[in-house]
Amino acid sequence: MGGAGFIGPGGAEFCGMLLRTLRLDSAMTVLALGAGLGGAAELAARASGAWVEGVEPEDTLIRHANRGAGESAVAWRTHLRRRDGDAPDLGLHRFDAAFAMGWLHARADKATLLAAMAAALRPGGQLLIADYVRSDGPPGPLVEEWRKHEPAAGHQWSEPQYREVLHALGLEMRGCEELSATLVAMIAEAWERVRQALHLEPPEPSEARALRDEAALSAAQSAALAAGEVRFLSFLAHKVEG
């Protein structure tokens, strides 16, 4: 639904809007954690000329991403690899910028992953985290409905949790933007395009089941976002020098 190289709604348009806050350029080396099918890594390289390393834990996704990477005009500026084991080996002071989009909310090991990203940044490096963030208090009924379709959604952090951990890791917050309404609109637009395409070419039974599951998840996400039980926030932080 997100378009070639992307998982989820928004696709290249939404990703590009988020990436612009990093002000990347061709002299930079960039980390994309939770790279998925590689769309965000490729977009970052194409838009800025930066060297981008994408890290993804799912074997199936990384195989598909690498299969399509050779067809990209910026394939030589991107490298996609699998993250092995529980503790990510991202190195020390290797990157000028790092980002994770729509991925950390489903991870129970967020603190470990954020620590690895912070360590991998050079002093003065930029970190962008854009993701679903729960409101304060216990999960509401719409979040519980979401968890029926994505059990890992129960791992969402609150905004204060992100701020506290990023500060403890030596990262200075430079901005926090809410994009919930934008994402809800993009989810609706994406499914309208799917509906129109299916009207012209009905799916096979197996594909139809997968689409029904994805539609149910998207509906649950949109309802939780619209009601304010969950927000989609973009955090921009810089690693303190010295």
Provide the H-helix boundaries in the chain.
11-19, 39-48, 59-69, 110-120, 141-149, 159-168, 180-200, 205-227
Residue type at 196 in one-letter notation: Q
User: Look-up: residue for tokens 């988020």?
Assistant: 18
* Contact status, residue 11 vs residue 34, Cβ threshold 8 Å: no
Angle, vertex CA 149, rays to CA 186 and CA 2, nearest 5:
30
Q: Is residue 91 part of a domain?
A: yes
Number of compact structural domains in the chain: 1
Q: Is residue 189 part of a domain?
A: no
Q: Is residue 60 part of a domain?
A: yes
Q: Is residue 5 part of a domain?
A: no
Residue among 56, 53, 9 nearest 28 (CA): 53
* Contact status, residue 140 vs residue 198, Cβ threshold 8 Å: no
Q: How far apart are the first and last CA of the chain?
A: 43
Kind plus residue range of the DSSP H or E element containing 132: strand 121-134
Q: Is residue 99 part of a domain?
A: yes
Question: In this predicted structure, what is the pLDDT of residue 84?
Answer: 57
Q: Is residue 6 part of a domain?
A: no
Can you list the residues of the chain whose pLDDT is less than 50?
1-2, 73, 76
Question: In this predicted structure, what is the pLDDT of residue 12?
Answer: 84
Q: Is residue 66 part of a domain?
A: yes
Q: Which residues contact 158 (CB under 8 A, 6 or more apart)?
A: 133, 134, 135, 136
Angle between helices 205-227 and 180-200 (to 10 degrees): 160
Domain that holds residue 37: 11-137+149-180+230-239
Q: Is residue 56 part of a domain?
A: yes
Q: What's the CA gap between 193 and 1, in Å, rounded?
A: 9
* Contact status, residue 120 vs residue 97, Cβ threshold 8 Å: no
Alpha-carbon dihedral sign for residues 159, 152, 117, 15: negative
Ramachandran assignment for 170, one of left (phi > 0), alpha (psi -120 to 50 degrees), beta (any other): left
Q: What's the CA gap between 237 and 163, in Å, rounded?
A: 10
Model pTM above 0.85:
yes
Q: What is the CATH number of the domain that holds 115?
A: 3.40.50.150
